[in-house]
Amino acid sequence: MIKVENVIKNYGSVEALKGVSFEVEKGQLYGLIGPDGSGKTSLFRILTSLLIPTGGKASVKGFDTVKDYKSIRKIVGYMPEHFSLYMDLTVEENLQFFATVFNTTVEENYHLIEDIYKMLEPFKDRRAGALSGGMKQKLALSCALIHKPDVLLLDEPTTGVDPVSRKEFWDMLRKLKDTGLTTLVSTPFMDDAELCDEVALIQNGNILTIDTPANVAAKYPHKLWKVETENNYKTLKALDNFEEKISAFSFGHSVHLATNDNVPEKAIREHLLKSNIKVDKIEPIKASIEDVFMELMR
Partner 1 sequence: MQRIIYIVQKEFKQIFRNRMMKPMLFIMPFVQLAVLSYTADFTVKDIRIYVQDQDMSPLSAKLTSKIKASDNFTLKDVSYTYDEGFNKIQDNEIDVILSIPEHFSRNLNANRKTELFITADAINSTKAGISINYLQNIIHDFQIEEAQSKGLIEIKPGINTIKRDWYNPGLDYKFFMVPGILVLLVTMLALFLSGMNIVREKEVGTIEQLNVTPIRKYQFIIGKLLPFLIIGVFEFTVGLAVALLWFKVPFLGSVGVIYMFTIVYLILVLGIGMFISTITDTQQQALFLAWFFSVIFILMSGLFTPIESMPQWAQDLTLLNPIRYYVEVIRLVMLKGSSFASIKVNFLVITLSAIIINMLAIRNYKKTA
The residue ranges that bind partner 1 (CB under 8 A) are: 45, 48-52, 70, 73-74, 76, 78, 80, 82-89, 93, 96-98, 100-103, 127, 143
Least distance in angstroms from the C-beta of 78 to partner 1: 4
Min. distance of Cβ 168 from partner 1 in angstroms?
A: 22
> Is 237 in contact with 190 (CB distance < 8 Å)?
no
133-145 and 163-178 helices cross at what angle (nearest 10)?
Answer: 20
Q: Which residues of 63-74 are buried (b: 16+ CB within 10 A; e: fewer)?
A: bebeebeebbee
Strand pairing category for 63-64 and 55-60: antiparallel
How far apart are alpha carbons 106 and 94 in whole angstroms?
11
Least separation in angstroms between residue 154's CB and partner 1 is 12
Alpha-carbon span 284 to 225, nearest angstrom:
4
Nearest Cα neighbor of 182 from 42, 48, 76 is 76
CB of 94 to partner 1, least distance (A): 9
Closer residue to partner 1, CB minimum distance, 89 or 210: 89
Query: Integer distance in angstroms from the first to the last C-alpha of the chain?
Result: 32
> Least distance to partner 1 from the beta carbon of 96, Å?
8
The percent helix, strand, coil of the chain (3-state, each to 5) is: 35, 30, 35
Residue whose CB is less far from partner 1, 93 or 197: 93
* DSSP conformation class of 129: G
Distances (CA, A) of 42 to 65, 203, 243, 251: 13, 13, 41, 29
Least Å from the CB of residue 95 to partner 1: 12
